[in-house]
Amino acid sequence: MSYEDLMAIRPGVTFNEQGEAQVLVWAPKAEQVQLLFGEETNILDLEQRDYGFWTLQTRALWPGDRYGFLLDGKGPYPDPATLYQPEGVHGPSETFDVQKIEWTDRNWQNPAMKDYIIYEIHTGTCTPDGTFAAMEEKLDHLVELGVNAIEIMPVSQFAGDRNWGYDGVFPYSVQDSYGGPGALQHLVNACHERGMAVILDMVYNHLGPEGNVLGDFGHYFTEKYHTPWGDAINFDDAWSDAVRHYFVQNALMWFRHFHIDGLRLDAVHAIKDFGPVHILQEIRQKVEELSRNTGRQHYLIVEMDLNDTRFVKPIDAGGYGMHAQWVDEFHHALRVSSGQERSGYYSDFKGVVSLGKSFADAYVFDGVYSDHRKRKFGMKADGIPGQQFIVFSQNHDHVGNRMLGERTSRLVSFEMQKLLAGAVFVSPFVPLLFMGEEWSEPNPFQYFVSHTDEELAEAVRKGRKSEFAAFHLEGEAPDPVAVSTFENSKLQWDLIHNPPHRTMLQYYRKWIALRKELPLFRECDRNGLSAEVLEEKELICIQRVWGRQYLVGFLNFSKSPHEVSLPPGHLSWHKLIASSDPIWGGVQEMPQQAGASALTVAPESITVYTNTINS
């Protein structure tokens, strides 16, 4: 087989239309590779190919068979490209035919990125059962809320049944305790039937510590670079072609066979690739080829801590071509504006001054000096449209990385929570919610794992404690291995029927409806936005224009009322929403119609008026 032929095949076990199994494994370290399968311990030899690949075609292997690989007689090892590990990371792999499902989403169209309203969700804690099937039962709630995209935290197989997902060791697999690959396909199909896109969080910068066997097969890792999680994945060192093939084919599999609409790629700043074509660029190019063949749009979204527009610029402009990125700095500025502590990386942010800059410029640090980093940081994001930036008032990281995992609902007042939500929705960026945020869920989202290796579990406990020792925080970090830490992090769905949670839910529904109804919001136009910051008053005045529509928003982060004025030149302004109104649990009703005369906005509130520009 030629190099091109090998690179076109997905690793692992696939089945053709005739039911024949095709096996491809990369194991350049081995002199002999054998497939061990079935209850009677059948063994078949794989044929050695060039570039370290081994292949086999057989009718002896069927969907549902358990199998593994022998490397020079040692093993069996799970398949590096296994789709299903029904007995966990240390057990055998199980073959799965991805083409078996009968999809009913033929007419599904992925929404434009600017129209996304994203809901980040963790499978294990979003329902009591913690499965894909249980998540399906909550989809109608999300439809009523108005979100049109769910972003599922990583589902690749990890040790045990409790984990955030970032300790996955088999990128092609789907966690057994969540229901496995068939259940994920069923969930995606159900989402599409309800008009919701599905984004899958994938980790291409490291693998977890327990059950990681890729290094036994080939040179998947390199000592050239190091990450916070150990040796970096080998994207540009010797033998890296096959590693790149492994991850490119992984991205294509989720889109092609699981009908995933977008991938959120975790911490891409930890991907080390100094080759002529960055791995992200290669993935984008291959995804574009797939879209041309299928007619379906797929998105690549990155999390990064670099403020580097190269990641989101088009390939023909010298970028990597990612469709969007998370903007942590908007969150950091928003959090400090709300009066929360300024420790660690939050120390760089100056409340409403930083937030006003992020509203206008996306990045707060765009080539200016960062005292936390002790150097200039970032670059300007001029020319990058608003739909390429995703913002939030909280997400899994900024909740779960706190020692006690407190959500915003435990850190600020009810009024401030409404203001934070409004700040996200009034921005010219794509909004993201973290599960339960819409009803002010009080339960924490804490860091939890279920490593079966006792030494590793103890190391995680000690590491979690020492991580917060430097902050001199009172109390003790919850035991990440304890079942109670996981159980305490589950959503309380019954709260949505009770005040004030019901009120908050209605408030979020209103904002999402406005976001969908008004072209000014939907267009994510950064050029039509200005932000006036009154630092002493802790007040920001946002003005946005789209076509003939004009919007003014007053964001009062202080604990005092402030007098403001609507711009002159209009006969009347119409109130879109005011968080201080009694309907949203507030104590100050703002006038439905207002002229250019002064208004008084309540403490910790957002008030938004709109009008049509006079010709």
pLDDT (tens digit per residue) in 184-222: 999 999 999 999 999 999 999 999 999 999 999 999 999
pLDDT tier, 473 (very low <50, low <70, confident <90, very high otherwise): low
Task: Name the band, by pLDDT with cuts 50, 70 and 90, for residue 125.
Answer: very high
Res 615 pLDDT > 50: no
Quick check: is 487 catalytic? Answer: no
Contacts of 435 (CB under 8 A, 6+ apart): 119, 120, 121, 122, 125, 126, 441, 491
Exactly one of 266, 282, 415, 581 is catalytic; which is it?
A: 266
Over the stretch 136-184, which tens digit does the pLDDT of each residue have? 999 999 999 999 999 999 999 999 999 999 999 999 999 999 999 999 9
Q: What is the DSSP letter of 144?
A: H
Is 303 a known active-site residue?
Answer: yes
pLDDT value of residue 472: 47
Over the stretch 229-274, which tens digit does the pLDDT of each residue have?
Answer: 878 999 999 999 999 999 999 999 999 999 999 999 999 999 999 9
Beta bridge partners of 325: 302, 389
Give yes or no for residue 527 having a pLDDT over 50: yes
Of 117-126, 135-144, 291-300, 594-603, the range with the lowest mean pLDDT is 594-603
β-sheet bridge partners, residue 57: 22
Give the range among 237-241, 331-335, 459-463, 476-480 with minimum mean pLDDT: 459-463
CB neighbour list of residue 199: distance below 8 Å, 6 or more residues apart:
118, 149, 150, 151, 152, 260, 261, 262, 263, 264, 299, 301
CA angle 510, 513, 519 (to 5 degrees): 130
> Higher confidence at residue 227 or residue 479?
479
Nearest one of 17, 163, 162 to 97, comparing CA atoms: 17
Judged against a pLDDT cut of 60, whether residue 539 lies above it is answered with yes
Does 518 score more than 90 pLDDT? Answer: yes
Select the more confidently predicted residue: 392 or 464. 392
Q: What integer pLDDT is reported at residue 571 of this predicted model? A: 67
- Whole-number mean pLDDT of the chain? 95
Q: Sign (positive/negative) of CA torsion 70, 71, 75, 80?
A: negative
Query: What is residue 470's predicted lDDT score, i.e. its pLDDT?
Result: 53
Residue 154, SS3?
Answer: coil
pLDDT above 60 for 582: yes
> In which band, very low, low, confident or very high, does the pLDDT at 111 lie, cut at 50, 70 and 90?
very high
Residue 455, CA atoms < 13 Å, CB-side half-sphere = 2
What is the pLDDT averaged over residues 441-456? Answer: 95
Q: Is a pLDDT exceeding 90 seen at residue 227?
A: no
Q: Which of these is catalytic: 151, 237, 303, 604? A: 303
Q: Is residue 508's pLDDT more than 90?
A: yes
Q: What is the DSSP letter of 79?
A: P
371 CB-near residues (< 8 Å, 6+ apart): 347, 348
| pLDDT band of 127, cuts 50, 70, 90 | very high
Q: In this predicted model, what pLDDT tens digit does every residue of 58-110 receive, in sequence order?
A: 999 999 999 999 999 999 999 999 999 999 999 999 999 999 999 999 999 99
Q: Check if the beta carbon of residue 238 is closer than 8 Å to that of residue 223.
A: no
Phi and psi at residue 222, in whole multiples of 5°? -130, 145
Residue 343: pLDDT over 60: yes
Q: Which domains does the chain have, with CATH numbers?
A: 3-94 (2.60.40.10), 115-327+388-401+412-459+496-514 (3.20.20.80), 529-612 (2.60.40.1180)
